[in-house]
Structure 1
């Protein structure tokens, strides 16, 4: 049965906003992406930023999903940023059929073309059944994955890789390689053009390391085996629901040292350093195309807390 999209009446906007905000809070807490008061603070900032003018925000559309008989099946929220259209909230009263999901994607594609978008991006939490049913097998690919490991495990493993604080002499080479590598990954993920990727990679590095190696809360290490450098590790210390939380900002095994198990040992080292720094959890981001890294992290007990899927137009 075909579905149609119609704008949400202005008189229903506040009700929808309150319900969508609560869905975001509950979803983040359930997935572990953000927990406790962190989920509330994020949701409030999120809606204030993306809907600064409420229902009149020109880059946002809240739509009713209607069946052929004009019965309402649910709502969805679309936001245009640059040339990327984000599907940020999908709420349906009952599970849509495959045909209805086909029709819904077709309607979203039409809106995307009308708004000048070149990509559709859909962030999804693991438990978002309606969202996954919508994008599965309909031209979307996993661009990026957020993961968490909690609590930190106590592993009885020998430490063959030694991690030591990065020296000032080593730091400039690290910055150059890390910025270039992240830009390449952004392009490979399909999320950025080469020019935009270079700018975004530089922006994020400056934001994380405004004072270089002396930036508080940033822990950078070189990894060695028998005095030979085999890789680097970068942990950014965060706060998660009032507790110290480590985030793996960069981890790299040197090209000539790969396939020796050092990647796994570096992750074990990250756990040890995180615990030493007072954290009880570790988070990380991995690009969807990096299947080997995803497999490694999941084998270590990391679980997915959010995925972003993309479809090119």
Structure 2
């Protein structure tokens, strides 16, 4: 399978939402991914096998030296083929080209090997506060 990675490429919110619903085991919603990333993010990376979106990652930032990998997702039939690593590598290249000095990520425990071994992140001290919603 030949994969093409595109920085800030066109996508339909429904196709990104379907990837997320499948990847995070939830029902799809009508979330407007296009409005979210065009309004708030440094960029995003699309991974396509021909026309089909098989992976996607959002790259948020602080407007200066720090970028953040969010919402990384790969279609079930494209996992363990290097698509996720390719998404993160392109995100890192583009964040560096934009002048960012650091790329951050947080993740669930089962993804440690992916982010630390496959993608080259290193452990750091960080903090987290769960906020009340509603």
Partner residue, 2:89: 268
Distance in structure 2 (CA, Å) of the matches to 1:175 and 1:228: 14
Partner residue, 2:13: 171
Partner-residue secondary structure (3-state), 1:304: coil
Structure 2 contact 22–75 (Cα < 8 Å) conserved: no
Runs of 4+ in 1 over 4 A off after TM superposition: 179-184, 225-228
Post-superposition Cα deviations, 1:110-135, rounded to whole Å, max 9, x if no partner, equal: xxxxxxxxxxxxxxxxxxxxxxxxxx
Q: Does 1:162 align with 2:5?
A: yes
Distance in structure 1 (CA, Å) of the matches to 2:87 and 2:55: 8
In structure 2, relative to structure 1, the CA distance for the partners of 1:215 and 1:253 (3 Å cut) is same
Q: CA offset at residue 260 of structure 1?
A: 1.1
In structure 2, relative to structure 1, the CA distance for the partners of 1:173 and 1:270 (3 Å cut) is same
Structure richer in strand, relative to its length: 1
Partner-residue secondary structure (3-state), 1:286: coil
Distance in structure 2 (CA, Å) of the matches to 1:182 and 1:305: 26
Q: Does 1:298 align with 2:119?
A: no
Q: CA offset at residue 294 of structure 1?
A: 0.8
Matches within 5 A, 1:1-313: 161-167=4-10, 170-175=12-17, 177-178=19-20, 211-225=35-49, 228-239=52-63, 243-288=64-109, 290=110, 293-299=111-117, 300-306=120-126
Distance in structure 1 (CA, Å) of the matches to 2:18 and 2:50: 26
Partner residue, 1:78: none
Partner residue, 1:127: none
User: Which consecutive residues of structure 1, in runs of 5 or more, have no partner in the other structure?
Assistant: 1-159, 185-197, 309-313
Distance in structure 2 (CA, Å) of the matches to 1:246 and 1:223: 19
Post-superposition Cα deviations, 1:182-227, rounded to whole Å, max 9, x if no partner, equal: 586xxxxxxxxxxxxx9xxx9xx88xx7943531435233112455
Partner-residue secondary structure (3-state), 2:65: strand
Q: CA offset at residue 164 of structure 1?
A: 3.9
User: Which consecutive residues of structure 2, in runs of 5 or more, have no partner in the other structure?
Assistant: 129-134
Distance in structure 2 (CA, Å) of the matches to 1:253 and 1:210: 18
Q: CA offset at residue 232 of structure 1?
A: 0.8
In structure 2, relative to structure 1, the CA distance for the partners of 1:173 and 1:228 (3 Å cut) is closer
For this pair of structures, how many residues does the alignment match? 122
